[in-house]
Structure 1
Amino acid sequence: MKESPWFNLVFMFIITAVLTSILSGIYEYTKPIIQTNEDITIKKAHLYAFNIEYPTDASSDEIEKIYNEKIQVESIDGTQVYVVKGVDDQPEAYGFTFAGGALWGEIKGIIALSPDLNKVIGIDFTEQNETPGLGGRIDEAEFKEQFRGVDLNSEAAPLTYRTTSQPGQVDAITGATLTSNSVLKILNETIGVAKKSIGGDQG
């Protein structure tokens, strides 16, 4: 007996509805887990930028505890600022998140600065989609670590790359000029916002 075309349509509709419901259920179940993992990844990046050490095998709860003990979030001049405080509740470092376009999408991260805003404590990235092996190397420790301790009292832009014709504080990534320039532009703009928010150049 020949099957009715309506039977096939109804059958496909039921199968599609069932699969959609299953996928939707899986998404709703894993959504909080994914969100928690993303939050912990961001917190780890902030700790790295502030040069705050934590065990490599630390659990999510341990990361959360260390983060909450060390870093406070404040609003200064309308800007969200991450603050590490020390003796007498005095700031030891300020952190500012950044975001900007690069070659293949948006780059996001955080830069931590000294209390006088004249020295970089560290940077880290929380999101980037640059080419693996090229621009994607901005996520490597070799690139990020060279920013630690950089003096921002340059007569030119706060941060500059070393070239054959002029000195600078850090090295760009070979073969990834567009990504390197985008990172430098984003960081310098963020440093400008930081100095304006905290009260101008404190140098």
Structure 2
Amino acid sequence: GLPIDKHAALTFTLDDGKTTITIPANGTSGTATVTAPDNVYVGANDPIVKSIATVEGADVDKFEKLTLDKTEVKTTVTDEPGTPGNPGTPGGTNEGDLVKVTITADQTSVAENVKPTFTVHVNQPLDHDLVVTLSNNATVTIKAGDTSVKYEHAAQGDDVYLDSGEISLGIKSAVDIDGRTFENLELGGAAKVDVT
């Protein structure tokens, strides 16, 4: 039969049908790089599982007995350093995927009998609904796949004790609707509207 290190190049295809590993002529090993799945949630990474599906090459039929070990190989995917539960280097920065929630006013000023509107933003579409609690304890929900939601504030004139001035509205919290923890959650500052 053909010696293990005396052959033409061999190309192995993994079970995903896309990843290939080439062992060069007369070699005994080869490597391939796959991209790990990435998401914004803590501990929600699926493992990478691969196995050999097929082999091709000019000398495949020359081996006395070429048997493919199709046992699955599993690689665990962890969160980036600095995320909750994976602190990394003490004093280091959080390298987790950033989820930033901000609020903006849709107008710079309103009359006291007009309801000002605000927009709550998230910096990327998420896989699940995001429930945001505002500084006045009102809640809004940014739906999965969306990046913003509108909020209508009560008119200042609805409060007999307040006249002209300013309405300031911030973000108190932002949580995944199913309780998943974000790797790196950042809340922006308050938005303000002048009341005339």
TM over 0.5: no
- What TM-score bracket applies, with the shorter chain setting the length? under 0.3
More helix by share: 1
Q: Which has the larger radius of gyration?
A: 2
Q: Please, what TM-score do these two structures have when normalized by structure 1?
A: 0.20
